[in-house]
A and B are shown apart, each in its own frame.
Chain A
Amino acid sequence: MIGKEDMTSRNTGLESRTKILIMMICGCLVILLDSPIALLVCFLASLVLIAVSKPTLRQIRLLLLFLFFTTWGLIYSQGMFYNAFPRTVLITLVPAEFPFIGEWTGGIKIYREGLFHGIIQSLRFNTTLVIGCYIVWSTQPRDLLLALGQLRVPGALAFMVTTALHFIPVIAGETAAVIRSQRLRGFRYGQFNLFATVRGVINSFRPILAGNIRHATNLGESVESRGFSPDIARQRTSLHTSQMGKWDYCLLALLSLSLICVIGLKVLYFCYVNGIYYESWLRGAYTFTREML
């Protein structure tokens, strides 16, 4: 029988719809916010969310790896390619008078404002990345499919998203096998011949893509032959009645309110800065928006 003890192995945190809505609201929030402090608060809140879902050590390692590479990549690239003004040179990597590269690029430098902008961008990106990992790691594919259906996402799209997530570990395993088989046949990644390396990468896509298509086709046929169709995604019954609890409602209300407030304050500040609308009693709000949002 399916008793309470069986249900304990399911993730009993937030409801799947809540998780998707959190992702959407936070996505909007981090786009609207410009202040590093506010973005840091969002990022830390997303970390709290993933901590509550009790990730495994392997997941923590993987997340740290993702965060490291996105942060490093964004700060480094923004620091180097920042083209707004004013900008302050921190380090000169290649002077402008250096033959060919220096003359061609006008010098390669790291700008202080670029680094700052990179930090802001990485906080934005990392917040959504952490929430994305939280959803993938704490939600079963069938719950995700159900939630997307309930949120009126078209059935075909919902199934595609769910299937893609379902096959991530399989694809990772097959990619590793393809690369190993290439290397065991003498192919060297990272060799000086860039053309050969690129060709090797392109060649590796063939078996990986063929495998993906085969798995997806088989799974698609398996679920279709068990009566699933994108058209009925919203009508199907469910063994587990999934309902949003008070925590779901509270969290969503809080986030929605925050989003509305941020939009409101940003609109007011925009009107003030552009001379469209000004009220002296709103000066506190203008200052708060400028300093904190």
Chain B
Amino acid sequence: MVPIQIDNLFFTYPSREKSTLHGINAEISPSDFVLLTGPTGCGKTTLLRTINGLIPHASSGTLTGAVRVNDEDVASQPLAATCQQVALLFQNPDDQLFCTLVQDEIAFGLENLCFPPEEIKERITLALEQVGLTGFEGRRISELSGGEKQRVALASICAMKPQVLLLDEPTSHLDPRATHDILNIVKQLNTEIGITVVLATHRVKEVAPLCNRVWLMHEGQLYLDLPRAEAFQDTSVFRSLGVEVPETENPPSPIKRKPSTNTTPHHPLLNVKDISFCYSNSDKNAVQTISCEVSRGEIIAIMGANGSGKTTLLHLMGGLLRPSSGEVKIDGKTSKRRKLHQLAGKVGIVFQNPDLLLQAETVKSEVEFGPKNLKLKSEILQTLVTDTLAQFKLTDFAAEAPYSLSRGQRQRVAVAATFSLHPDIFLLDEPTTGQDAHHLQHLMDELCNQIWQENKTLIFATHNIELTQKYADRVLLMREGELIFDGTPNAAFSDKELLKNASLAF
């Protein structure tokens, strides 16, 4: 067994003045299950990378202090030696899987460590059994669901039989059922095999029941290191840092709408009629015969498992994709014959990865990019940009480069840049990914406020039931490309069978 000792650890990235890790002291005992949480940018990922040896071996910067695994200083032993003891699972499975076939992916690490082929085969079988994917050896990774891919990634590190497993937001891209499966597997590895686990996450509610210790980080420091039983006795510290707390309280009540200043009567703004869509590299429809009407002023959540067609439907609604059959009408006009730039001001979208929108040199020029393309007069443009920056609390960052901001701030810039055109239909794809509760709530509060005030429409795709309960007044549930429910959140979430069907409950 590998006890881990962290002594007075400081780390500063090359381009920064302030240290990301600031005097961390901690110990991890064998078979511990540590929940590591804290607000976005507090240093969770950096700490995991230091324990695993990626810092300093694969990353430059200034490291002082030490991480000792089995009394060996991680910084002074080769990465190949550390990775047999301490394994790290990353956030996004698509970024860490390298091979085409499942068996090759699992074999990759073992081949690097020069295991003989016979032992590699045995370990592949065992690792797949541990993650519940027996028989998947010959499957192509590209054909697996998001949850299955993450399980393959987990199997690929379990095959190296590490004694410590570090997991960096392993469920942030996954639907509730896949999240439940991954967390159960991790718990089993912890209790049955005795693997020590350190799991970094914002989703405290789901992980807290499984752990025996809680680490709370803030601004590079270990703010709290307590057994689980004591950690949540006083949740005020967590709340003050904007971190989710595991309490069994009533579901969040919908927030009160501010009265709209616009008195336009509700009429269908978006008309979706019998649309189907099939990607060119697939022979199966990603969206299958969906019809619905969306009125001005509605806030709608599209929910469903990974791969159920949420993003595709969102893109079809916004005219980014053209349906293989059926029709999408935006404000009474078919989107089929309209070019994308003609929809500017009608439809706006923020992708799951907000960075794909950020293309300007400063936050201000990012926000003015859209209105400038519409050739507004300079006085109107300036007022619009100033107002938008103020509405989304970005005035102080106006001269900053978008990429120098934190993930939460970058998402806010992307939302502001899209909202600056005041689109009638605002589409938001999975806003929860990589966001802590505090950032997410602020963003949604600000956005919904603007949507209500201007009587616009917001459609967002998410796995997060609480987010839907709090902000949406209608929910579309999807399963395997089909719409299986269209109604109020209360009606959807009171039907357990329906939620199971949509992989939102288990």
Contact = CB atoms under 8 A, between A and B. Distances in A.
Interface stretch (A95-103, A105-113, A175-183, A285-293): A175-183
Contact of A232 (B80, B97, B320, B348): B80
A117 interface: no
Given A186-B373, A204-B359, A218-B90, A142 B138 contact: no
Nearest to B121: A2
Interface string A198-218: 000001101100110011001
Interface stretch (B51-59, B208-216, B446-454): B51-59
Nearest to B106: A239
B341 interface: yes
A279 interface: no
Nearest to B94: A170
Interface string B37-62: 00000000000010011100110000
A238 B108 CA distance: 8
B95 A178 contact: no
Contacts of B357: 178, 181, 207
A186 B95 contact: no
Interface stretch (B111-119, B249-257, B391-399): B111-119
B79 A183 contact: no
B79 A236 contact: no
B88 A225 contact: yes
B9 interface: no
Most chain B beta-carbon neighbours within 10 Å: one of A6, A140, A204 = A6
A153 to B, nearest CB: 17
B318 interface: yes
Nearest to B402: A206
B340 interface: yes
B490 interface: no
Interface in A138-175: 140-142, 166, 170, 174
Nearest to A1: B125
B117 A241 contact: yes
Given A170-B94, A185-B417, A188-B341, A239 B58 contact: no
B109 to A, nearest CB: 3
Contacts of A219: 95-96, 98
A6 B103 contact: yes
A224 B92 CA distance: 16
Contact of B87 (A188, A225, A232, A235): A225
Contact of A177 (B84, B90, B140, B356): B356
A170 to B, nearest CB: 7
Contacts of B374: 186
Nearest to B100: A140
Give the interface size bracket for A toward B: 35 or more
B107 interface: yes
Most chain B beta-carbon neighbours within 10 Å: one of A170, A204, A227, A235 = A227
A228 B105 CA distance: 13
A226 B86 CA distance: 10
Contacts of B344: 183-186
A10 interface: yes
A224 B54 contact: yes
B241 interface: no
A227 to B, nearest CB: 4
A222 B98 contact: yes
Contacts of A235: 114
Given A188-B373, A237-B115, A227 B109 contact: yes
Given A9-B140, A203-B360, A222-B90, A227 B104 contact: no
Contact of B339 (A2, A183, A207): A183
A194 interface: no
Nearest to A218: B95
Interface string B414-444: 0001100100000000000000000000000
A44 B116 CA distance: 42
B491 interface: no
Contacts of B111: 236-239
B79 A224 contact: yes
B358 interface: yes
B83 interface: yes
Nearest to B417: A185
A185 B115 contact: no
B392 to A, nearest CB: 16
Contacts of B115: 237
A5 B359 CA distance: 48
Interface in A231-249: 232, 235-241
Contacts of A177: 351, 356
B374 to A, nearest CB: 5
Contacts of B347: 184
Given A140-B104, A186-B345, 13 more contacts: A1-B125, A9-B101, A170-B94, A183-B344, A184-B318, A184-B320, A186-B344, A186-B373, A187-B341, A188-B373, A218-B90, A222-B90, A225-B88
13 contacts: A6-B103, A6-B138, A8-B138, A141-B99, A184-B318, A186-B370, A187-B341, A187-B373, A206-B358, A221-B90, A222-B95, A229-B112, A238-B111
For the complex of A and B, the 8 pairs showing the least CB-CB separation, nearest first, are A186-B373, A226-B109, A6-B138, A186-B344, A222-B96, A227-B112, A183-B340, A218-B95
